[in-house]
């Protein structure tokens, strides 16, 4: 995924100095595999913005230590050392770097990375177990909280689980709302659908938490380190309207999630969401509200800030939008009455079933990538539906 919004960037020198200090901690007493060198290949995507630090994947040629941290240099990134962290599979590494002006035309970069540590030796970006869920931290700064356990704030009328709240800004401000009074079925960063059908049976209404409960079977931190951390989840969708012979809810949909948080660099932090949905029963369909709005799907319920602005590829949005199409949307303002503006961009991967997707953009707070709309689509058992989105948490006002 490539960031579509452009933000003012500062602090690149701080990033290099901070990372070098972190890696000195990583390396003390650790086995650095005799300072191994690893070959990396980066394929720069078309349209990559220059001068903007973004997460960039690199293919590892040969073997690397799973979770290894590498130092790399390339003229495309300037004179500074850039640090990369390998995934646990040892096949892909990630770095957060800005491509210099005039260098984006290179489609393929070849680098040699020096192994300088292993991510498990000094966890910087990490997920930690907490009561009710799992918290992500970047150093000593809170990033977001995964709500694992079912809970309610209105005496059981709405019971929710399997979402993220709070989502924090770079200075600790809370960007999202949970169980807001105007729409108590909205929950931070969440994904849900009005229609869940099994044959002719309507299996509740997941969007409004009615006759539906996501059962989290697994929520596990699988990666942590100075560049990124990852959380994986396995969730069963259940409804008390679809049961077995003993009256127990039958799992209807298998959801697997991977959520990757990158270390904040300069004025931004990137968070990737991948949600994979597979049917467990025959003839399962999901769909949005059965009106022109068609809302459902990936949603961020923003806590409306002072001086709130919404932007998409058309520019500044002056009123609520229904059915507008854009690869991205940005919400910014003064959260919590702070003097400094901040916000979050919602980016959509070009591999989505519809791209650019349709949106509902609301000044009361709900920002929804509306898929599939009011006409339900079938979920397959062997060919899952995969939703990919990126949140860019930033200081300042987002701009095209």
Place of tokens 């933000």: 7
- The answer on pLDDT for 46 being more than 90 is no
Query: What pLDDT is attached to residue 123?
Result: 60
Domain ranges of the chain: 12-121, 125-395
Q: Per-residue pLDDT averaged across 331-352, rounded?
A: 96
pLDDT tens, residue by residue, 152-184: 999 999 999 999 999 999 999 999 999 999 999
Q: Which fold has domain 12-121?
A: Elongation Factor Tu (Ef-tu); domain 3 (2.40.30)
φ, ψ (nearest 5 deg) of residue 124:
-105, -60
CATH 3.30.70 fits 125-395, yes or no: no
Pairwise CA distance, residues 355 & 306, whole Å: 31
- Output the pTM of the full model: 0.91
119-151 burial, b if ≥16 CB within 10 A, otherwise e?
Answer: bbbbbbbbbeeeeebbbbbbeeeebbbbbbebe
User: Which two structure tokens, joined as six digits, stand for 68?
Assistant: 């290894």
Percent helix / strand / coil, the chain, rounded to 5: 5, 50, 45
- The answer on pLDDT for 87 being more than 80 is yes
Q: Per-residue pLDDT averaged across 278-298, rounded?
A: 96
Structure confidence at residue 122 as a pLDDT band (50, 70, 90): low
Beta-ladder partners of 265: 268
Query: What pLDDT is attached to residue 333?
Result: 98
Pairwise CA distance, residues 275 & 271, whole Å: 13
Say how many C-beta atoms besides its own lie within 10 A of residue 170's C-beta: 18
- The answer on pLDDT for 33 being more than 60 is no
Q: Do domains 12-121 and 125-395 have the same CATH topology?
A: no
Structure confidence at residue 104 as a pLDDT band (50, 70, 90): low
Query: What pLDDT is attached to residue 147?
Result: 99
Structure confidence at residue 28 as a pLDDT band (50, 70, 90): very low
344 close to 308: Cβ distance less than 8 angstroms: no
């Amino acid at each position: 995924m490539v960031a579509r919004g452009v933000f003012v960037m500062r602090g690149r020198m701080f990033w290099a100095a901070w990372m070098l200090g972190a890696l000195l901690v990583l390396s003390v007493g650790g086995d650095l595999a005799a300072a191994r060198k690893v070959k990396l290949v980066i394929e720069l995507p078309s349209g990559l913005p220059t001068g903007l630090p973004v997460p960039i994947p690199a293919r590892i040629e040969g073997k690397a230590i799973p979770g290894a941290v590498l130092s790399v240099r390339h003229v495309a990134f300037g004179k500074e050392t850039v640090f990369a962290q390998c995934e646990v599979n040892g096949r892909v590494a990630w770095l957060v770097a800005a491509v210099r002006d005039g260098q984006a035309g290179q489609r393929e970069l070849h680098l040699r990375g020096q192994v300088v540590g292993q991510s498990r030796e000094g966890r910087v970006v990490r997920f930690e177990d907490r009561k009710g869920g799992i918290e992500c931290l970047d150093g000593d700064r809170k990033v977001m909280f995964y709500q694992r356990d079912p809970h309610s704030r209105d005496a059981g009328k709405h019971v929710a689980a399997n979402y993220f709240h709070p989502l924090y800004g770079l200075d600790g401000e809370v960007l999202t709302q949970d169980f807001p009074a105007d729409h108590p079925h909205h929950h931070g960063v969440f994904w849900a659908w009005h229609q869940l059908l099994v044959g002719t049976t309507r299996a509740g209404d997941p969007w409004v938490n009615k006759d539906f409960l996501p059962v989290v079977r697994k929520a596990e931190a699988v990666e942590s380190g100075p560049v990124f951390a990852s959380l994986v989840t396995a969730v069963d969708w259940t409804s008390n309207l679809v049961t077995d012979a003993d009256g127990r809810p039958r799992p209807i949909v298998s959801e697997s999630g991977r959520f990757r948080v990158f270390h904040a660099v300069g004025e931004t932090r990137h968070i990737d969401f991948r949600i994979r949905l597979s049917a467990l029963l025959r003839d399962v369909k999901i769909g949005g509200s059965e009106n022109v709005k068609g809302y459902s799907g990936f949603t961020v319920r923003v806590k409306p800030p002072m001086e709130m602005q919404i932007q998409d590829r058309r520019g500044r949005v002056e009123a609520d939008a229904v059915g507008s199409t854009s690869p991205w949307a940005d919400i910014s303002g003064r959260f919590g009455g702070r003097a400094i503006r901040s916000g979050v961009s919602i980016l959509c991967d070009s591999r989505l079933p519809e791209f650019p997707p349709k949106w509902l953009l609301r000044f009361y707070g709900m920002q929804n990538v509306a898929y599939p709309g009011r006409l339900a689509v079938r979920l397959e058992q062997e060919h899952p539906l995969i939703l990919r989105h990126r949140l860019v948490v930033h200081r300042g006002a987002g701009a095209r």
